[in-house]
Amino acid sequence: MARCLRIHPADNVATMLQDVKAQRVEVLGAAAGAAIELREAIALGHKVALTEIAANEPVLKYGVTIGIASKDIARGEWVHLQNCRSRVDVRSQSLDPRSGAPADNPYE
Amino acid sequence: MNNGVNSGTPTARADWQGYLRADGRKGIRNHVLVIYTVECASHVAQQIAAGESGVQVIGFPGCYDNAYAIRLMLALARHPNVGAVLAVGLGCEYTQPERIAAAAAASGRPAKWFFIQEKGGTRSSIETGKRLVGELRAEAETAAVRVPMSWSDLTVGAECGGSDATSGLAGNPVVGAFFNLLVDAGGRAVFEETVEMIGLRDVLVTRAANEGAQKQVIEAYDKAVRYCESVHQYSVSPGNFAGGITTIEEKSMGAFAKGGDRPIQGVVRVSQQIPSAGLWLLDSVPDEHFMQFGYTNPNDTEGIVDLISVGAQLVLFVTGRGSVIGSPIAPLLKVTGNSRTFERMSEDMDFNAGRLLNGESTVASAAQELMDLVARVAAGAPTNAESLGHCEYFIMYKHQNTPSLDAGCHA
């Protein structure tokens, strides 16, 4: 079975250890033995929500707040720029969620 | 911090020969360093080094000088891995090659200098430079005192760049575990990128070795926050986001892992020599002055050169997405936590920490293997970047308040 890693027991996200399609994935690390049903394909290194995370709730990885949910996130959903924002870095909210490419500087 | 508690058996054997310098430090290479003092002299400097073995180039592009850049060039000229120095100027710039050569000579290194305008032009300057480099190399080889080195003679830097989520899961944790081994063996470990510690103030406070160190660490952190706010840029790039990192806070936690978990002895600034054994934090962020902070830290190469400037004889570079860069003076050893990157860029990557993500290795055993590899490189085995001839460097205008170059006792 494809695998993802939950680093800290307090974490509400896990990190993909390979590119995975929408399928059932084994959770390694903290709370090992659990599994999570992905709602969409998630790439290596990207994160899946292990629980429902309501808008404005913290996203936890390494046991610390790495960002704030910018909308309601369902269990099994991909957690990234489209639904999670930094508490300090405003510019990252304007980047393309897949490529990370900026769109705010004109090339004219 | 060499009490051996929980450190287990020390590690890889340190049984290589180094080059003893007049200041008591030991190098793992014996390079001739060519330094140009303005961009106008850079082509001549590069051509002097072209085709010469053991000759490397650094330089500063500006015609108007900068105290920070001069300190940096002097720190590199007097680096333990440098055996001799040739300084080359055009002839009308502010930065003085004669004084760089004099400082290198005063440190016990053979050193020479000249102005291109006094030699007649490009070809004659390159000929002059090649002749001088040949003489300097012979002198550096004759003057070399070979001595045995141990881990306590070694300073290793760690940088990360082109990070993806594997950097925080595998690459940086393995480097951090190696740093623990190095510190427990009496060595010096240094990491930087305080702009990639944003969000970790509380963690940093608990890691300081003593009150003095805590004060330094907090000052460096708070400045990094003001700096990022001022330049409107956090240290996170499109490639990081594409690789799965969502926020600077997430990147910070992954980046911080490369420091291991030994106490932080204090903070050094660019060009300040690390004063004692243990883990140190390098603050490369500009200080506030009349031109504000200046501009954002430009690239990985600058950070690596900064680590070399505080005395690192070897630098580990963790890159999840992959990179091809090298560095002058101190060998750059590239570590990736991403097995796919390791396979795709095997000609450039030196170490695959990604094996622990598919269960083929553990952090502890990967750190031991990395220590073995560091010992081989210290003994003279070239890194991939060295074999490929990579010598990227970056010396920029910047302001940092003048540090004492000998940091003295921070205990």
pLDDT band at B284 (very low <50, low <70, confident <90, very high): very high
Q: Could you tell me the maximum CA-CA distance found in chain A, to the nearest angstrom?
A: 53
pLDDT band at B11 (very low <50, low <70, confident <90, very high): low
pLDDT, residue B291, reads 67
Chain B residues with CB-CB distance to A86 below 8 A? 234, 246-249
Q: Which helix (H) or strand (E) holds B130?
A: helix B122-143
- Domain assignment of residue A104, yes or no: no
- For residue B278, pLDDT over 90 is answered with yes
**Average pLDDT for residues B400-404, to the nearest whole number?**
75
| Spatial separation of the C-alpha atoms in residues B341 and B354, rounded to whole Å | 9
Chain A residues with CB-CB distance to B245 below 8 A? 45
| Spatial separation of the C-alpha atoms in residues B269 and B405, rounded to whole Å | 9
pLDDT band at B236 (very low <50, low <70, confident <90, very high): confident
Chain B residues with CB-CB distance to A101 below 8 A? 238
> Could you report the predicted ipTM of this complex, rounded to two decimals?
0.92
Residue B403 distance to chain A (closest CA, Å): 30
How do residues A14-56 score in pLDDT, each as one tens digit? 999 989 999 999 998 877 678 999 999 999 999 999 999 999 9
* Strand extents, DSSP E, A39-94: 47-49, 58-61, 64-69, 78-79, 84-85
As a 3-state breakdown, chain B gives helix, strand, coil percent values, each rounded to 5, of 40, 15, 40
pLDDT, residue B406, reads 56
pLDDT, residue B403, reads 66
Chain A residues with CB-CB distance to B166 below 8 A? 44-45
3-class secondary-structure state, position B244 = coil
* CB atoms B166 and A45 under 8 Å: yes
- Domain assignment of residue A86, yes or no: yes
Answer for the pair A21, A40: CB distance below 8 angstroms, yes or no: no
Closest CA to B195 of B166, B173, B169, B163: B163
Residue whose entry in the numeric block shows the structure tokens 């926020």: B247
| Spatial separation of the C-alpha atoms in residues B395 and B399, rounded to whole Å | 12
Answer for the pair A69, A83: CB distance below 8 angstroms, yes or no: yes
Give chain B's contact residues with A (Cβ, < 8 Å): 164-166, 168-169, 198-200, 203, 225, 228, 232-234, 236-250, 253-254, 320, 338, 340, 357-358
3-class secondary-structure state, position B56 = strand
The rounded mean pLDDT for chain B is 91
* CB atoms B248 and A89 under 8 Å: yes
Answer for the pair B115, B90: CB distance below 8 angstroms, yes or no: yes
**Average pLDDT for residues B227-232, to the nearest whole number?**
86
Token pair, residue B193, equals 């990128």
- For residue B5, pLDDT over 80 is answered with no
**Average pLDDT for residues B90-96, to the nearest whole number?**
95
How do residues B58-73 score in pLDDT, each as one tens digit? 999 999 999 999 999 9
Size of chain B in residues: 411
- Domain assignment of residue A107, yes or no: no
| Spatial separation of the C-alpha atoms in residues B72 and A87, rounded to whole Å | 35
Facing residue for A66 by CB, picked from B228, B241, B250: B250
Taking CA–CA distances from B198, the nearest residue in chain A reads: A88
Inter-axis angle of helices B172-184 and B248-256, nearest 10: 30
Facing residue for B246 by CB, picked from A80, A98, A99: A80
- For residue B408, pLDDT over 60 is answered with no
- Domain assignment of residue A100, yes or no: no
- Domain assignment of residue A35, yes or no: yes
pLDDT, residue B296, reads 63
Domain count, chain A: 1
State pTM to two decimals. Answer: 0.89
Facing residue for B234 by CB, picked from A81, A88, A98: A88
| Spatial separation of the C-alpha atoms in residues B112 and B65, rounded to whole Å | 20
| Percent above pLDDT 70 for chain B | 94
The neighbour count for residue B210, using CB atoms within 10 Å, is 13
pLDDT, residue B294, reads 73
Answer for the pair B338, B351: CB distance below 8 angstroms, yes or no: no
Chain B residues with CB-CB distance to A69 below 8 A? none
Closest CA to B355 of B332, B338, B374, B380: B338
DSSP symbol at A42: B
Chain A residues with CB-CB distance to B203 below 8 A? 64
How do residues B327-366 score in pLDDT, each as one tens digit? 999 999 999 999 999 999 999 999 999 998 888 888 999 9
| Spatial separation of the C-alpha atoms in residues B217 and B264, rounded to whole Å | 8
pLDDT band at B292 (very low <50, low <70, confident <90, very high): confident
**Average pLDDT for residues B36-43, to the nearest whole number?**
97
How do residues A68-84 score in pLDDT, each as one tens digit? 999 999 999 999 999 99
pLDDT, residue B407, reads 52
Inter-axis angle of helices B67-77 and B97-106, nearest 10: 40
pLDDT, residue A105, reads 80
- For residue B146, pLDDT over 80 is answered with yes
pLDDT, residue A47, reads 97
pLDDT, residue B233, reads 82
| Spatial separation of the C-alpha atoms in residues A107 and A99, rounded to whole Å | 18
Facing residue for A81 by CB, picked from B237, B241, B249: B241
Closest CA to B157 of B305, B278, B315, B328: B315
Which of A6, A89, A96 would best serve as a mutation to test chain B binding (most B beta carbons within 10 A)? Answer: A89
- Domain assignment of residue A42, yes or no: yes
CB neighbour class for B52 (10 Å; exposed up to 12, middle 13-18, buried from 19): middle
| Spatial separation of the C-alpha atoms in residues B166 and B338, rounded to whole Å | 6
We report the CATH number of the domain holding residue A19 as 2.30.130.110
| Spatial separation of the C-alpha atoms in residues B184 and B97, rounded to whole Å | 41
From residue B11, give the alpha-carbon distance in Å to each of B191, B361, B369.
21, 17, 9
- Domain assignment of residue A13, yes or no: yes
Please name the residues in contact with B254: beta carbons below 8 A apart, sequence gap of 6 or more: A62, B163, B165, B167, B168, B169, B172, B245
- Domain assignment of residue A105, yes or no: no
* CB atoms B250 and A65 under 8 Å: no
User: Which residue segment(s) compose the domain that A17 sits in?
Assistant: 3-94
From residue B168, give the alpha-carbon distance in Å to each of A31, A95, A100, B244.
19, 22, 18, 11
Residue B195 distance to chain A (closest CA, Å): 12
Taking CA–CA distances from A63, the nearest residue in chain B reads: B253
**Average pLDDT for residues B77-91, to the nearest whole number?**
98
Alpha helices for A4-102 (secondary structure H): none
